[in-house]
Amino acid sequence: MNKYFLSLLIILSQVVIFKSYGTAIDNPYHKVISKFVEHKVFSGTVLVANKGNIVFERGYGLANETWQVPNSVQTKFNIGSLTKSMTALLVIKLVQEGKLSLTDTIDKYLHYLPEEKSKKITIQDLLGHRSGLPRQFSLPGWKSGKFDRFNNKVEYAKLIGELELIAEPGKQYQYTNLGYFLLGLIVEEVTKTTFESAFDQTILALLHMNNTGTFAYKKIVKEHATGYRIAKNGGYQRPSFLNIEFLFWAEGNVYSTVGDILKFEQALYQNTILDEKHRSILLSEENNFSWSVQPWKVNENAKELSSISWGGEIPGYSSFLLRLTDQQNTIIILSNNAINEVEKRRLASELTAVLYDEESSLSKIPLSFILTKALYNNQLDKKITGLEKQVQNYTIDESLATMGLQLMWGGELTKAISLLSFNAKILPDSPLAHDSLAKALAENMQFGKSLKSAKQAAKLLPSNQYLKNEVERLRTKIITRQH
């Protein structure tokens, strides 16, 4: 009896510690996240859990800048391509039920696509980004906003079918949204209902994910965070309109909370939706069904942890789910200031360091933190000039290239080129730095300078076929323009 009460006392004391620990100012998780918030790198909500039990959760920044409404654990965020992981779960559920087969070719369901392509592409190819389809940016008129009011899914699928394949189906991994758009149509064909209804019935209802749904521009979603990006003249602004509910449909159009994402993540340990056999198929390292299965290391000296992860970015929003499966630890990051891929992985690593009592990598402030805050304060060029002889005081990594490309995609070409030129200067031996600069210069129609940067990237990584192809593409572009 005494042992029973002692055990109960220990359990209760741990629960109390977690609850108070999650709100205390000196909480190590809070301290880590605060550094990202202070430099305008992160605004959103974070959750850390062990075996489904929440260790820490808290909102940071504002869900709405106009009304000064803070983010909280109840705030709903668009999760972008984390939607693909849910769509993959739905498709594998249909496979488990015998309504689909991974080896089915898509002509069986999408008869309006060109047969010479659809008879080669399988369900498995679409799920694993091996369909040979390019990214959506290849669609004629994408950059000019042709599809901002487009709403016919079959006609859109036909346009996808007209695109030239960039690889033989099943042979090469090429991340693309277009494959998951087609999967949404296949789900509708098989279930004889809308994708949204199938998604709700198969996943949301079963897991009691009551704060999750599909986004629509006209739909009122209570406690939904407004998405922001840094404005041209500093501060935040809303991104330009994008037809998200159509263009990012089955591949990126879900909103959720950290609590609901935890329910989804925990279901991947259980037989609630999939049996063990089909969970193994979904989470297979070889399949790459919109899940990344690879070792996770906090730093060079830390031990490797088994992990499964995926994330998403969509204008104004970003998400990341990290499953540390060795001890069933979970980290969920939802953002409404579009924290980029490098920074959210950095944040996840810092939170992992706290979980596993590993050394932090933030002994030096990342240079990207300083420049993100400079962007927010509209002082980028001034800050770059002042930093040129001080870069050794900061951590320098891929994040500057990612920042520059985000600026380019957001239409801030001048700032993108300024940042990426600085990045190539301080990282002269980085192929990524030169390749990113080449992209921005090409976007600004400076093809001669772009070719020079592309050649430097290819010189640094001579075995990389992609970089070789970029050099040839730019050469062809220059020759074509001269004639």
pLDDT at 379 over 90: yes
Name the 3-class secondary structure at 294: coil
pLDDT at 12 over 60: no
pLDDT at 8 over 70: no
> Domains of the chain by range and CATH?
82-355 (3.40.710.10), 367-482 (1.25.40.10)
Identify the bridge partners of residue 329 per DSSP, sorted by sequence position.
Answer: 50, 324
Q: Please compute the mean of the pLDDT values over residues 158-184 and round it to a whole number.
A: 96
Tokens representing 64? 């709405």
Cα–Cα distance, 36 to 31 (Å, whole number) = 9
**Percentage of residues in the chain having pLDDT higher than 90:** 86
Q: Lowest mean pLDDT: which of 87-96, 241-250, 429-438?
A: 241-250
pLDDT at 1 over 60: no
pLDDT at 6: 35
pLDDT at 50: 98
What are the angstrom distances between the C-alpha of 308 and each of 70, 156, 295?
30, 32, 8
Considering only CA atoms, which of 150, 229, 241 is closest in space to residue 415?
A: 229
Element (H, E) at 245: helix 244-247
Cα–Cα distance, 72 to 58 (Å, whole number) = 6
Q: Please compute the mean of the pLDDT values over residues 54-79 and round it to a whole number.
A: 98
Buried b (16+ CB within 10 A) or exposed e, 25-62: eebbbbebbebbeebbbbbbbbbbbeeeebbbbbbbbb
**Which burial class, exposed, middle or buried, applies to 304 when counting CB atoms under 10 A from its CB (0-12, 13-18, 19+)?**
exposed
The rounded mean pLDDT for the chain is: 93
What are the angstrom distances between the C-alpha of 342 and each of 48, 165, 289, 408?
19, 29, 21, 16
What are the angstrom distances between the C-alpha of 352 and each of 29, 50, 199, 318, 365?
9, 12, 31, 19, 18
Q: Please compute the mean of the pLDDT values over residues 281-292 and round it to a whole number.
A: 97
pLDDT at 15 over 50: no
Tokens representing 454? 């592309």
pLDDT at 294 over 80: yes
DSSP labels, 447-480: HHHHHHHHHHHHHHSTT-HHHHHHHHHHHHHHHH
Answer whether 282's CB lies under 8 Å from 274's CB. Answer: yes
pLDDT category at 300 given cuts 50, 70, 90 is confident
Contacts of 330 (CB under 8 A, 6+ apart): 47, 48, 49, 50, 52, 262, 265, 266, 321, 322, 323, 324
Q: Please compute the mean of the pLDDT values over residues 25-52 and round it to a whole number.
A: 96
Element (H, E) at 373: helix 367-376
Q: Please compute the mean of the pLDDT values over residues 192-217 and round it to a whole number.
A: 96
Considering only CA atoms, which of 102, 115, 51 is closest in space to residue 324?
A: 51
Tokens representing 233? 């003249």
Name the 3-class secondary structure at 439: helix
pLDDT at 21 over 60: no
**Which burial class, exposed, middle or buried, applies to 301 when counting CB atoms under 10 A from its CB (0-12, 13-18, 19+)?**
exposed
Identify the bridge partners of residue 459 per DSSP, sorted by sequence position.
Answer: none
Return the residue matching tokens 């996240």.
33
The sign one gets for the Cα dihedral 385, 390, 394, 398 is: positive
pLDDT at 395: 93
pLDDT at 143: 82
Name the 3-class secondary structure at 45: strand
